[in-house]
Amino acid sequence: MLSDGEAKELLSFLTLEMRADVKGQATGYILGLTGNRDGCRYLQTKPDFLKALVTLTRDPSIAIVKDCYHALINLSADETLHQPLVKETDLLDILFQNLLDPKYMFADRICTILSNLSRHERTCRDVFSALQEQKIGLDKVVEIFCTEGFNKKASLHYLGPLLSNLTQLPEARQFILDKDRCVIQRLLPYTQYEESTTRRGGVVGTLRNCCFAYTHHEWLLSDAVDILPYLLLPLAGPEELSEEENEGLPVDLQYLPEDKKREDDPDIRKMLLETLMLLTATKVGRQIVKNKNVYPIMREFHKWEKDPHVISACEKLVQVLIGDEPEAGMENLMEVEIPKDVEEKLKELDTKEQEQMEKDKQESEKQSHISYTDLTD
């Protein structure tokens, strides 16, 4: 790495007043450093370099600004840099100011940085606080996210993961679930947003996090929100159901066309199943989901699914759908206190299940390779 003298000299080049060619070489060098872990960890100890990068996002040279944003994306991908970035610089203030500009050409890079920084709870709170302090608020982020073409130079898809990350905080979930704001109703259609897996996944993650607030389950499943079709449609296929099964389903899921396709991303499919599972944690939720005839959709989905992790999530949901009601005092599964010895046993079983699924996956890949070899002989 750089000696103290070399670092001091390099830092002197990273100013708005420096000649563009010299400044460009300096930012290019810093960008190179951020391309590996050792370089990132070195810059973690050099807050002056972090401040300089943030300052140069205001440089008149597009090439220099681009390098600075790329470097900040790399740095924000390293969790150990999160606190230095938000505590030692005015990064969040600048990012949010530029995000609000509908003509800002680097808005997608801003969304990526904010998404990276908000992954873990500690810095997520810093991001959420910055939103409040700048009087922007989560409502403005949602408005920008839901306004098609807000920025003609950026897709803003990574606002989806940002919303998902922010809703790990109870305060953010409370905002999204405010019955007077109709925020969650605006987000629901994006569970089927074909243009971007990132945007779809971000919204599904947001819905899943919000469903941890079990006191809202009845409202979420009611006609006021009607969350169920938006969770089920991406999991439903073209299989023909009986007339009786169709009639029991929500209207949007009845008699689906022959070309109906399921969500193609396994991680999103798993999150959708986990969201449905959360909605069955309360007695009222289970009753509504069962009455809406969800089982046939899950039955056909289970036949179709190939990913072992998603299959496991589906089987857990099916067990709830076809199982008996829990005994008295256990109706709300989110309030049941699990004895420590049982909790440890469940964790052990879960670990074994994960290991077996990974083993099965490797074996499946091995068999696929053998079949391909046989075909080529």
Strand ranges, E, within the chain: none
Helices (H), 134-233: 137-146, 159-166, 170-176, 183-187, 197-210, 217-221, 227-232
pLDDT, tens only, 297-317: 999 999 999 999 999 999 999
Q: Is the pLDDT of residue 109 over 70?
A: yes
Q: What is the pLDDT of residue 116?
A: 97
- Across the range 225-250, mean pLDDT stands at 93
pLDDT interval class at 341 (50, 70, 90): low
pLDDT interval class at 345 (50, 70, 90): low
What is the percent of the chain where pLDDT is above 90?
80
Question: Does 34 or 375 have the greater pLDDT score?
Answer: 34
Q: What is the pLDDT of residue 368?
A: 38
| Cα(371)–Cα(232) distance, integer angstroms | 35
- Across the range 45-62, mean pLDDT stands at 96
Average pLDDT, the chain: 88
112-138: burial string, b at 16+ Cβ within 10 Å, e else: bbbbbbbbeeebbbbbbebbeeeebeb
Q: What is the pLDDT of residue 332?
A: 55
pLDDT, tens only, 254-288: 999 999 999 999 999 999 999 999 999 999 999 99
| Cα(193)–Cα(261) distance, integer angstroms | 13
CA distances from 267 to 140, 210, 273 (A): 28, 18, 10
pLDDT interval class at 224 (50, 70, 90): very high
Q: Is the pLDDT of residue 231 over 80?
A: yes
pLDDT interval class at 64 (50, 70, 90): very high
Which of 68, 51, 50 is CA-nearest to residue 59?
68
